[in-house]
Amino acid sequence: MPKQYGQGCPVARSLEFLGERWTLLIVRDLLAGPRKFQDLQASLTGVAPTVLSHRLKILETRGIVRRGWYSDHPPRAEYALTERGQDLKATVRALAIWGARHARGESVLVHDACDSPIDIAYFCPSCDTTIASSDVRRRPVARRGPARARAARGHTARTRTRTR
């Protein structure tokens, strides 16, 4: 059962389902492309089949993973990230950078071209610039409904967190 933090913070709400053991490793593997269950199990040494199945079901329910069938007899599934799942790429990259620096030894991920350490930053595609965290705020997103859909028409620009 996923932990319920009971906080409105986006980090806490995300960790309620992404913070379970193996979950982000599944996402990491699926960032490379669709995988069959047995391929995921082979790459995630030590995960029990029931745990892997449960995590995939949670990710599917949350719209992070899409399951497709590649065989009817016997039934065999292949898993791929949805657009929402692909949006976790920056998160997985940030964890890779942090882990290389701070988890079990000294190493750093570097840019091949210049051999400089890489970092993760907030990036605004509308302004085409990296921005400081002090210049970032949270605002509600209008939900799709008749009144809000009319109010949202014409607004197409979105700010996203991106790696650079």
CATH number of the domain at 53, please: 1.10.10.10
Is residue 76 in a domain?
yes
pLDDT at residue 31, as a whole number: 96
pLDDT, average across residues 41-61? 96
When divided into structural domains, the chain yields a total of 2
The H or E element that residue 120 is part of is strand 120-124
* 110 inside domain: no
Write out the two tokens for 21.
């053991």
Verify that 18 and 82 share a domain, yes or no: yes
* pLDDT (average), residues 101-110: 78
Q: Which domain holds residue 126?
A: 119-163
Same domain, 81 and 139: no
- Residue 77 burial (CB count, 10 A): 15
Q: Does some domain include residue 96?
A: no
> CA 57, CA 63: separation in Å to the nearest integer?
10
Predicted TM-score (pTM) of this structure: 0.72
In this structure, is residue 93 part of a structural domain? no
| Residue 114 lies inside a defined structural domain of this protein | no
**Same domain assignment for residues 59 and 16:** yes
Q: Which of 30, 65, 86 is the last residue of a domain?
A: 86
**Domain end among 71, 86, 101:** 86
Question: Tens digit of pLDDT for each residue in 17-28?
Answer: 899 999 999 999
